[in-house]
Amino acid sequence: MGLILLAGAVIGEAQTAARHATGSSLAAEVRLRARAERLHRRSIVIDTHNDITTPIADEGFDMGALDQTGKYQTDIPRMKAGGLGAEFFSIYVSSKYAREGGSARRAMEMIDGVYEQVRRHPRAMEMAFTVADIRRLHRQGRIAALMGIEGGHAIEDSLAALRLFHRLGVRYMTLTHTNTNNWADAAGGISVTAEKRHNGLSEFGREVVREMNRLGMMVDISHVSDETFEDVIATTQSPVIASHSSARALTNVPRNLTDDMLRAVAKNGGVVMVNFYNSFINTEYARPDMPRPTKGVDTATLDMLMAHFEHIIRVAGIDHVGIGSDFDGVDGQLPAGMEDVSKLPTITYELLKRGYSEADVRKVLGENLLRVMARNEAVARRLRAGGAKPSAVRIAGRVVDQATTTLSLSSPAIIGR
């Protein structure tokens, strides 16, 4: 009987200790979540890639009310709930416009849609054009609306069009989409074979990069081929961004960046914005030791997403990673816990849980992107102060430099590159 009583006492003490441990763990989690929420609300949270502009343009979607259909991931109530400070609306121009014509018109329609949303909801959003604008709007409690063109064919091979898009507020351009255009090779996609036409950037493509530097428009290397990436890094004077790409070492798809590319972005001073799309973050579906997949996947986990953040931090450094969700551009194929823009505070919580300091978390949430954008602004000011004028280069006919020297684009020296 004594042994039975002793065993019962031991079991009881163990159960009590377990309850205390569980209670302490739950209390610690509650405290951590509260800390994450406070930090998230104080920080400027920036997402560099959101495709809600397509339903705005094509379906008349209005962001003012909470979407009840379950179809969309983005609206103003959920942006507010997610603590979003600045959104780069994607001016996505499908490759069909490169084939059929009307790329610039399509981009203009989408830009007009962003301006219309801001007009309808001025208390919630305002157009932003500079880092100073973003910081001012954050202090005011409003969302900064910015834009990035996705697909360089949108400029229709015209640097004048590029300049006009910049005047309208476009602050980055993804040089290609899945399609190779007339001046830059693309990476292709999971089910899209890459077309190698230029071995990277053509000479006109380099001039596009130089003109973007002069304007202060960030060069986006998401979607480009590895060779195009190398040419961009060799050409640009400003830090680049990958507006929505993850780590190829974890998920072996051409849209993600290799470790060498991550290190090159870090050396350049740029930033890689992690994509949330299941097919780009599932670490079982496309491991580097597996054949490159031919179709996407519809599942991934939050831990897989965070593994991409942590891998990029380890390889490139904490100063070179951010958020590029791809909300409303991936048919809802997002990890559980990151279903829509209201879930962004989860990123803050998960980073704190993994031991990152509040200062480092703020960098990931938005300060890294703000630093890169500010540097692009500074380089543009320096170039213009040094006498850089709008480029007169044409993709066909003649290339005219600022000294009016001419060089035919049919020159073997240019075509060979």
Phi then psi dihedrals of residue 406, to 5 deg: -110, 150
Query: Where is 415: in which H helix or E strand?
Result: helix 412-415
**Residue 313 neighbours by CB under 8 Å, 6+ apart:** 321, 364
Q: Active-site residue among 40, 153, 223, 320?
A: 223
Place of tokens 């932003």: 128
Of 138, 244, 308, 311, the active-site residue reads 244
DSSP SS3 for 247: strand
Query: How would you write 120-165 as a 3-class SS string?
Result: HCCCCEEECCCHHHHHHHHHHCCEEEEEEEECHHHHCCCHHHHHHH
- The helix/strand/coil state of 96 is helix
Q: How far is CA 256 from the centre of its chain?
A: 12
Catalytic residue check, 320: no
User: Is 259 marked active-site?
Assistant: no
Q: Is 226 a catalytic residue?
A: no
Q: Provide the 3-class DSSP secondary structure of residue 88.
A: strand
Q: Is 308 a catalytic residue?
A: no
The residue from 150, 226, 231, 377 that is catalytic is: 150
Task: Say how many C-beta atoms besides its own lie within 10 A of residue 289's C-beta.
Answer: 5
Task: Spot the catalytic one: 75, 185, 230, 326.
Answer: 326
Residue bearing tokens 């351009």: 173
Helices in 296-355 by DSSP H: which ranges?
302-316, 345-353
Bridge-based pairing of strands 170-174 and 84-92 is unpaired
Place of tokens 């989860």: 346
* Catalytic pick among 51, 226, 230, 319: 51
Collapsing DSSP to helix, strand or coil, 41 comes out as: helix
Beta bridge partners of 323: 47, 274
386 phi/psi in degrees, rounded to 5: -85, 5
Residue type, 360: D
Q: Indicate which residue of 177, 198, 308, 311 is catalytic.
A: 177
Q: Tell me the H-state helices in 237-338.
A: 259-268, 278-281, 302-316
Active-site hit among 40, 47, 49, 231: 49
Active site residue 260: no
Q: For residues 340 and 50, what is the distance between their CA atoms, to the nearest angstrom?
A: 11
Residue 197 in tokens: 């036409």
**Contact of 168 with 186, CB cutoff 8 Å:** no
Q: Which residues are part of the catalytic machinery?
A: 49, 51, 150, 177, 223, 244, 326
